[in-house]
Amino acid sequence: MIHPSAIVSPKARLGTQIEVGPFTIIHDDVQIGDGAVIGSHCEIGLPSALAEGAPLVIGDSALIRSHSIFYQGSTFGNRLVTGHRVTVREKTVAGENLQIGTLSDLQGHCTIGNYVRFHSNVHIGQKSSIGNFVWIFPYVVLTNDPHPPSTVLRGPRIEDFAAIATMSMILPGVTVGEGALVGAHSSVNRDVAPNTVVAGAPAKFVCNANEIKLKDGTGRPAYPWRDHFHRGYPEAVVAQWLKEAEARHVSA
């Protein structure tokens, strides 16, 4: 149901069973799949010359919470979920089931894989490249200008399964390797090797990720996190993770 106070362009191409909350605006160049729920006070498909005519495309089963802003010119797979007051600029290309926390700000011109989770108040600079199953926690900033202000833009690259803890920043052009963990409140100015932990400002090597133990009383390794943390992922994906974990333990 579309609330009568919402302003929805007749040119927007909306799927079936869409809900749109009060005082929300949906502009012309918008294409949204079936079953989307869009909260109140949003602005969806904000026109922008920087989108070069591309529409905003959102897959099926999206949940966009109130006061959020999406520009035209980005593309999202199915099951996009956002918190409140997110901002997404032009030319963001994201896979399935991206979650974007409250107040997060995606500056556009970036690529994001499948099943990525941004927690609250994350800032993703332009030219960032983010893999699959990545976690980015509150107040993390991905930067892109080595010597601001300049016209050089070098986005960071965050590989599959990496996790960046709260209030850390990733400096321009840095790669955080697959399965790596950046500790909280770190400033990362050089590449992080896969499956390692770094922390500090500037961030330094702490240990291999699998040396950290979970604080749940089991003494199991905390990383790879996919060995124990499965909330919100598809059953088939989790089954594969468990199979891989078992293979690792057998071979170890």
Q: Is 141 helix (H, G, I), strand (E, B) or coil?
A: strand
The DSSP element (H or E) to which 63 belongs, if any, is strand 63-64
Nearer to its own copies, 8 or 14 (CB): 8
Q: Which residues pair with 69 in a beta bridge?
A: 43, 87
Q: By CB under 8 A, which span of 10-18, 37-45, 74-82, 238-246 interacts with its own copies?
A: 37-45
Query: Does position 47 bind its own copies by CB under 8 A?
Result: no
The DSSP result for 204-251, as a single string, is EEEEEGGGPBPTTTT--B--SGGGT--TTS-HHHHHHHHHHHHHHHHH
CA distances from 83 to 19, 65, 76 (A): 16, 5, 15
Contact assessment for residue 200 and residue 168, using Cβ atoms and an 8 Å cutoff:
no
The DSSP result for 87-109, as a single string, is EE-TTEEE-TT-EE-TT-EE-SS
Q: How far is the CB of 169 from its own copies (least distance, A)?
A: 5
Nearer to its own copies, 33 or 68 (CB): 68
Separation between Cα atoms, residue 243 and residue 236, nearest integer Å: 11
**# of chain residues touching its own copies (CB under 8 A):** 60
Query: Does position 238 bind its own copies by CB under 8 A?
Result: no
Query: Does position 150 bind its own copies by CB under 8 A?
Result: yes
Q: How far is the CB of 85 from its own copies (least distance, A)?
A: 6
Nearer to its own copies, 50 or 152 (CB): 152
Site string for its own copies, 65-104 (x = CB under 8 A): -xx-x-------------xxx-x--------------xx-
Query: Does position 182 bind its own copies by CB under 8 A?
Result: no
Contact assessment for residue 148 and residue 126, using Cβ atoms and an 8 Å cutoff:
no
Separation between Cα atoms, residue 128 and residue 34, nearest integer Å: 29
Query: Does position 223 bind its own copies by CB under 8 A?
Result: yes
Query: Does position 176 bind its own copies by CB under 8 A?
Result: no
Among 61, 111, 120, 132, binds its own copies (CB under 8 A): 120
Q: Per the structure block, which two tokens stand in for 71?
A: 């520009």
Nearer to its own copies, 147 or 249 (CB): 147
Contact assessment for residue 43 and residue 24, using Cβ atoms and an 8 Å cutoff:
yes
Nearer to its own copies, 215 or 250 (CB): 215
User: In the complex, which residues of this chain contact its own copies (CB under 8 A)?
Assistant: 5, 7, 22-23, 25, 39-41, 43, 46, 66-67, 69, 83-85, 87, 102-103, 105, 107, 117, 120-121, 123, 135, 137-139, 141, 143, 146-152, 154, 163, 165-167, 169, 171, 184-185, 187, 200-201, 212, 214-216, 222-223, 225, 228-229, 231
